[in-house]
């Protein structure tokens, strides 16, 4: 009987201690998990504060790229009196290639679908330029080539670059 009484006395001390220990364990575990979640959230928000301006700048640069490779812009900047179709054609292709190469790294900061739209716009502009170039003799004055390109622009509802710019603007609106 005395052994039973000793066990009961021992249980009187162990059982409350065990309850206190388990309660403290679960409370501390919950606090640690909560603090971890808060820290992760702070890190994500901090990263977003850093990356968001960079992403916006990338979208801005890509809009500028698209504006610079639009047919009107290319014609206005590159067509000089006395140029031949061959010269203007080569200069247009070279300019588009340089602009593209200069902005190639921006794909890191924009969505894959946006980058694909930009590549398609570039490809379509090149296609329009090359298709129209084939209609002329290389030594024809460049003004005729320019006129042909501008007439083609009038026929098209939207230039490929304009469609891409609208897509980028829609993506930017989704960011905010």
Q: What is the pLDDT of residues 38-82, one digit of tens each?
A: 999 888 887 778 788 899 999 999 999 999 999 999 999 999 999
Phi, psi of 83 (to 5 degrees): -75, 150
> Is the pLDDT at 36 greater than 80, yes or no?
yes
**Do 69 and 96 touch, CB atoms closer than 8 A?**
yes
Residue spans per domain, the chain: 53-175
Please tell me whether the overall predicted TM-score, pTM, comes out greater than 0.85 for this model: no
Q: Are 69 and 122 in contact (CB under 8 A)?
A: yes
Extract the tokens encoding 153.
């622009």
For 115-151, write each residue's pLDDT tens digit.
Answer: 999 999 999 999 999 999 999 999 999 999 999 999 9
Residue 99 neighbours by CB under 8 Å, 6+ apart: 65, 68, 69
Angle between helix 160-175 and 2-68 (nearest 10): 150
Rounded Cα distance between 141 and 137, Å, is: 9
Residue matched to tokens 């900047």: 77
């Amino acid at each position: 009987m005395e052994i039973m009484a000793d066990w009961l006395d021992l249980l009187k001390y162990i059982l409350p201690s065990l309850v206190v220990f388990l309660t403290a364990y679960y409370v501390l575990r919950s606090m640690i998990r909560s603090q971890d979640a808060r820290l992760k959230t702070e890190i994500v928000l901090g990263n977003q504060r850093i990356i968001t301006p960079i992403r916006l700048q990338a979208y801005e640069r890509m809009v500028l790229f698209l504006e610079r490779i639009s047919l009107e812009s290319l014609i206005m900047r590159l067509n000089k009196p006395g140029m031949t179709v061959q010269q203007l054609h080569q200069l247009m292709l070279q300019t588009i290639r340089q602009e593209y190469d200069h902005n190639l790294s921006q794909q890191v900061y924009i969505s894959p679908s946006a980058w694909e739209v930009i590549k398609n716009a570039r490809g379509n502009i090149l296609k329009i330029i090359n298709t129209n170039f084939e209609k002329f003799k290389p030594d024809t004055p460049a003004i005729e080539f320019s006129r042909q390109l501008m007439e083609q622009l009038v026929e098209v509802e939207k230039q490929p670059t304009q469609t891409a710019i609208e897509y980028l603007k829609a993506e930017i609106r989704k960011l905010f």
